[in-house]
Amino acid sequence: MDLSVRIGKIQMKNPVMTASGTFGYGGEYSEFVDLDRLGAIVVKGLSLQAREGNPSPRIWETPCGMINSIGLQNVGLDAFLKEKLPWLRRFQTPVIANILGSFPEEYSNLARRLDGEVEGIEVNVSCPNVRKGGILFSSTPESLKEIVGRVRDSVKQSTLIIKLSPATSDIGQDALLCEKEGADAVSMINTIPALAIDTETRKPRLSNITGGLSGPAVKPIALKMVWDSYRRLRIPIIGMGGITCGTDAIEFMLAGATAVAVGTANFINPSATMDIISGIEAYASEKGIRKITELTGGMQCS
Amino acid sequence: MSRHFSAEITDIRQLSREHFILTLHRPPSAPEPGPGQFFLIRLPRCGEDPLLRRPFSIFDWDEGKLRFFIRVAGKGTAILAGSGPGERIDLIGPLGRGYPEPSDGKRPVMVSGGMGIASLFPMIREQGKGGLLLYGARTSDELHLLDEIGATGIETETITDDGSSGRKGTVLDLLHDAVQSGKMEGAVVYGCGPWGMLHSLLGFLKENRMEGYLSLEERMACGLGACMGCAKEIGGRMLRVCLEGPVFSVSEF
Ligand SMILES: Cc1cc2nc3c(=O)[nH]c(=O)nc-3n(C[C@H](O)[C@H](O)[C@H](O)COP(=O)(O)OP(=O)(O)OC[C@H]3O[C@@H](n4cnc5c(N)ncnc54)[C@H](O)[C@@H]3O)c2cc1C
Ligand SMILES: Cc1cc2nc3c(=O)[nH]c(=O)nc-3n(C[C@H](O)[C@H](O)[C@H](O)COP(=O)(O)O)c2cc1C
Ligand code: FES
């Protein structure tokens, strides 16, 4: 049975990777996860300078999900390259760096400096554009196009992945735009903008007021977005949103994903990624599937 | 040894309508915790709702068991209170940085408000006789576990918000008195309780330039330092309560 998949130039031994922001820089989970067994490791979103993020409280639990407003706290590019990446290099697993910025130039600088240092660069476009009054880069086709164009020009060796926001009228259109601008792959979905209020105090549950919803609650929405995009794309999709077990991952592949990422589930079960890989294996052997890539887009509508 | 293991519930002892002691069989593979550390417990029988694990300080342990002292505060703790012997639950831990031992010759003074006793009890047990416990609660009914505390031989003073047992006031009042009577000479303070109390305690310790360690709470997801969900502003930096804490030195603030 062949579980391997390919995302751009990245050859993965299986389709399971970690979702940015839920797996730290890898080391945090090394005691529970065989990092060599993962398809790829995606690290916490990096900015040029270290960021302290939002004040507390930053998380709130909802039915089958959670809302977070971490505010992209991270060690910054230099510390990542000096301290985190060398450690990750002890493993055979491809490393994908997730990047974020406040200005278009921050994205291109990050992309240029990471190019060739990591196998993949995943661009988080759900970030406020400081120069445009904080409106998200992903929220208009023009600004999305500008970011993708800039990182495309900066990335020559690594695989370029654009991570799309579900807060859009047509994610398939956004994905197509990324493909036209030369992205090697898209990943979806980032968290869904969300709010929770304490009715006793009438205050928001999060210091940042709003946050992003993740976990099993978002899975049906994420699946539909993967399906909508798959039908229009040639480049591969990395699907995520609420995956907790092998069959969840299979669902994403049937909807059109080539690979999948596991996020919130890591918090519930620290070895979730391992269990999901085993679950995919078990499904494939039970169904007599020889190549896992056969599943991609394999939903039978009639 | 693995910090992710499953353990069988051997006993749930109700102390009041809201408070109970959860005793688990400690499997040989479960590492030894230290005072002030905590575990993330996955709620039994709930699948994906409630989704997140719940953090609880280790209250007491030996080779064969782990004990937690828990107050029903919402959905998750109510589910735990309703579980029974024979059920298995899934834990991650011990986690975080606990209380450091007092340096040579220093007298450990434990300052506990309400449920703070859950986290401080291992210090009380280990430091016992030479130490001092200042123990406050809302009412006398909530001054739990006085027998177990008494058995350690520690000198104990209690106080309640409503004066239903002993003095009326807060642990800060007890602390001021302890200073007056010279009991705080060469003391190192370990504090745990509601944030309002810890905040006053922090002010007191800073003002008097005293060594102290405070255990904080914050909502958590991973418990491993990966998600940044539990970060709190401490000394101008966002520190993770699950990894850099839950116990912080006064000098860090
Ligand atoms: C390090 C640490 C040690 C703790 N030790 C103990 C202990 O020994 N005994 C005890 O009774 N309680 C302890 N708590 C508090 C305990 O974790 C909460 O009371 C519990 O999570 C509430 O869950 P719930 O589902 O009943 O409440 P809900 O209000 O329904 O919980 C909703 C969400 O908020 C979180 N939450 C609610 N209150 C708290 C809180 N005070 N701290 C952190 N997260 C919270 C929950 O974990 C959950 O994710 C500790 C908390 C921390 C951070
Ligand atoms: C605590 C937390 C932090 C996250 N941080 C990032 C991040 O830095 N960059 C990013 O692109 N996505 C981030 N995400 C989004 C996840 O990578 C993922 O897209 C989303 O959570 C959906 O997957 P899930 O339901 O499996 O968690 C974060 C999610 C969570 C829960
Ligand atoms: S709970 Fe995730 S970093 Fe502390």
Annotated active-site positions of A, please?
Answer: 127
For residue A6, the model assigns a pLDDT of 98
Give how far the C-alpha of residue B202 lies from the chain's centroid of Cα atoms, to the nearest Å.
Answer: 17
Residue B45's pLDDT band, with cuts at 50, 70 and 90, is: confident
Q: Who contacts B164 (Cβ-Cβ below 8 Å, separation ≥6)? A: B139, B140, B141
Domain boundaries, chain A: 5-54+71-191+215-295
Residue nearest atom 6 in ligand 2 by C-alpha distance: A21
* Count of C-beta atoms within a 10 Å radius of residue A2: 13
Residue A131 scores a pLDDT above 80: yes
Name every chain A residue with its beta carbon within 8 A of the beta carbon of B219.
56-61
For residue A129, the model assigns a pLDDT of 81
Strands annotated E in chain A:
5-7, 10-12, 16-18, 41-42, 59-62, 65-68, 95-99, 120-124, 128-129, 135-136, 159-163, 185-188, 192-195, 197-198, 203-204, 210-214, 237-240, 259-262
Residue B140 one-letter amino acid? S
User: Which of A245, A56, A110 is CA-nearest to residue B239?
Assistant: A56
Name every chain A residue with its beta carbon within 8 A of the beta carbon of B50.
61
For residue B122, the model assigns a pLDDT of 97
Rounded-to-integer distance, Cα A286 and Cα A280, Å: 10
Domain A5-54+71-191+215-295 -> CATH class: alpha beta
Residue A132 scores a pLDDT above 90: no
Residue A58 scores a pLDDT above 90: yes
Q: Are A32 and A86 in contact (CB under 8 A)?
A: no
Instruction: Note the pTM of the prediction, 2 decimals.
Output: 0.96
| Residue A227 forms contact with B (CB below 8 Å) | no
What is the whole-number distance in angstroms between the Cα of residue B68 and the centre of ligand 1? 13
For residue B171, the model assigns a pLDDT of 95
Residue B67's pLDDT band, with cuts at 50, 70 and 90, is: very high
Nearest residue, CB atoms, B228 vs list A57, A66, A73: A73
Strands annotated E in B76-224:
88-95, 107-113, 132-137, 155-160, 167-168, 187-192, 212-215
| Torsion angle of C-alpha atoms A61, A229, A283, A19, degrees rounded to 10 | -40
| Residue B226 forms contact with A (CB below 8 Å) | yes
For residue A206, the model assigns a pLDDT of 97
Give how far the C-alpha of residue B135 lies from the chain's centroid of Cα atoms, to the nearest Å.
Answer: 13
Q: Which residue has the tokens 């953090």?
A: B55
User: Which of A1, A94, A36 is CA-nearest to residue A292?
Assistant: A1
Residue B166 scores a pLDDT above 80: no
Rounded-to-integer distance, Cα B93 and Cα A78, Å: 31
Residue B65's pLDDT band, with cuts at 50, 70 and 90, is: very high
Q: B242 to chain A: nearest residue by CA? A: A28
Name every chain B residue with its beta carbon within 8 A of the beta carbon of A31.
2-3
Ranking A134-138, A199-203, B193-197 by mean pLDDT, the lowest is A134-138
Partner-chain contact B222 A64, CB within 8 Å: no
Rounded-to-integer distance, Cα A101 and Cα A110, Å: 9
CA-CA-CA-CA torsion sign (B5, A37, A254, A235): positive
Residue B128's pLDDT band, with cuts at 50, 70 and 90, is: confident
Give Rg (Cα) of chain B.
18
Q: Is A60 helix (H, G, I), strand (E, B) or coil?
A: strand
**Average pLDDT of span A154-174:** 97
Min CA distance, B237 vs chain A (Å)?
7
pLDDT tens digits for range A229-243: 999 999 999 999 999
| Torsion angle of C-alpha atoms A248, A251, A253, A256, degrees rounded to 10 | -130
What is the whole-number distance in angstroms between the Cα of residue B40 and the centre of ligand 1? 10
Locate the ligand 2 atom nearest the alpha carbon of residue A187 and give its number. Answer: 19
Rounded-to-integer distance, Cα A239 and Cα A100, Å: 19
Mutate to test the pocket of ligand 2, among A107, A264, A273 (most ligand atoms within 8 A of CB): A264
Nearest residue, CB atoms, B4 vs list A32, A56, A73: A32
Which residues partner with B54 through β-bridges?
B41
